[in-house]
Amino acid sequence: MAVEDKNCFIDKTIDNQLYTILEKMVEKGYAIDIPTRDCFNGLTLDGQLYWVYSSLKRDLWTPSEISTIFWYDAADVTTITATGNQVTQMLDKSGNGWTVAPLSAGKIGPNTGTRTLNGKNVLEYSKTTTSTNQILESNTFTQAQPFFIASVLRLDTDALTDQDFLFSGTETVNPRIAVRRTTNNNFQILTQAGSIETPIGSVTEGNNYLASFYFNSTASTTRINGTQLALGTIANNSFTSLNIGGNFGEDQSLNGFIAELVAFANPTDQEIMEGYLAWKWGMESQLPVGHPYKNFPPKI
């Protein structure tokens, strides 16, 4: 069937007519790839039209399109310095210079080049007891609320009845600000005066998560895989340091891996950041129906 054939749409439903257009766009090199025949199922007409539009060859959106506070991307191995498989330094892709490294005595970095997610390198944290010596830190990082930290991570299954600290922002217990998986299997934004938690059982070991945490005093939130599961009040603490994969005392850590960690300030960027992370790391199927990037990645 030639594209010039005026009868090519006769006796076809609208979704099949649109699919014919999409096939011809791919054939002529205007679209990215050939989608499956059922790509329009469940979409309204405007959603189908946007699917066609989104298939046009354009660059994929990345956090470089916005102003980020920090950006650590394990898939970009050019930002990682290692001795063997142990990370000794990781560069900040935001341009703000927040380089992280295992700075404290007796500490080492997580592993690099040992595990992947969606074919991309991740930072592996391993622990066999409740304590660990793996961490990446910046003792000069500072950031006041409000701001977001979005991440892709995994919690490995183990026999430990302990908690997993994803990151923390102080070196003291009071004041403190951190994010952890609790022994109740939920994510908690933890401060010394007010904390918020996702429902008990919402985060279990043996799974990958796209998690976004909004530090905003009386309107703090936690979203898991694109769905908000917690809203509430935390202490209005500033970050005065950054410990990736550890608590404020650097004696409790994460068992699993961190793929990417991005901090940013603008609330309008939250969903596009989720779309970017989900499609990059092969987690788009975990986004909820109705998420603006459920069916296609964000593009410029």
- DSSP for residue 218: G
pLDDT at 129 over 70: no
pTM of the model: 0.83
Q: What is the pLDDT of residues 245-288, one digit of tens each?
A: 999 988 888 999 999 999 999 999 999 999 999 999 999 999 99
Give yes or no for a cis peptide into 146 (omega within 30° of 0).
Answer: yes
pLDDT at position 162 is: 81
Q: What is the pLDDT of residues 134-186, one digit of tens each?
A: 999 999 999 999 999 999 999 999 877 688 999 999 999 999 999 999 999 99
Q: Please give the single-letter amino acid code of residue 158.
A: D
pLDDT at position 41 is: 80
CA atoms within 13 A on the CB side of 172: 5
Instruction: Give yes or no for a contact between 299 and 54, defined as CB atoms under 8 angstroms apart.
Output: yes
How sure is the predictor about 222, in pLDDT bands with cuts at 50, 70 and 90?
very high
State the DSSP string of 223-280. EETTEEEEEE----PPB-SEEETB-TTS--B-SEEEEEEEEE--GGGHHHHHHHHHHH
Place of tokens 């900040």: 92
pLDDT at position 178 is: 97
Closest to 137 measured CA to CA, from 109, 158, 113? 109
CA dist 32 and 131 (Å) reads 47
pLDDT at position 29 is: 64
How sure is the predictor about 21, in pLDDT bands with cuts at 50, 70 and 90?
confident
Reported as type and span, the H/E element at residue 71 is strand 68-73
CA dist 108 and 67 (Å) reads 30
Report the interhelical angle of 45-54 vs 14-27 (nearest 10°).
0
Biggest CA–CA distance in the chain, Å, is 75
Q: Could you tell me how many helices (H) and strands (E) the chain has, helices first? A: 3, 16
pLDDT at position 131 is: 59
How sure is the predictor about 5, in pLDDT bands with cuts at 50, 70 and 90?
low
Look at the alpha carbons of 224, 226, 232, 236 in this order and tell me if their dihedral is positive or negative.
positive
CA dist 53 and 56 (Å) reads 6
How sure is the predictor about 40, in pLDDT bands with cuts at 50, 70 and 90?
confident
CA dist 201 and 270 (Å) reads 24
- The residues spanned by each domain of the chain are 14-57, 63-284
Q: Among 8-17, 164-173, 216-225, 266-275, which stretch is predicted with the lowest mean pLDDT?
A: 8-17
Q: Is 126 helix (H, G, I), strand (E, B) or coil?
A: coil
Q: What is the mean pLDDT of residues 9-36?
A: 76
- DSSP for residue 108: B
Q: What is the pLDDT of residues 67-108, one digit of tens each?
A: 999 999 999 999 999 999 999 999 999 999 999 999 999 899
Instruction: Give yes or no for a contact between 288 and 78, defined as CB atoms under 8 angstroms apart.
Output: no
CA dist 190 and 227 (Å) reads 20
pLDDT at 3 over 60: no
pLDDT at position 26 is: 76
**Percent of all residues in the chain with a pLDDT value above 90, rounded to a whole number:** 71
Instruction: Give yes or no for a contact between 156 and 256, defined as CB atoms under 8 angstroms apart.
Output: yes
pLDDT at position 197 is: 98
Instruction: Indicate the fold that domain 63-284 takes in CATH.
Output: Jelly Rolls (2.60.120)
pLDDT at 55 over 80: no
Average pLDDT taken over every residue of the chain: 91
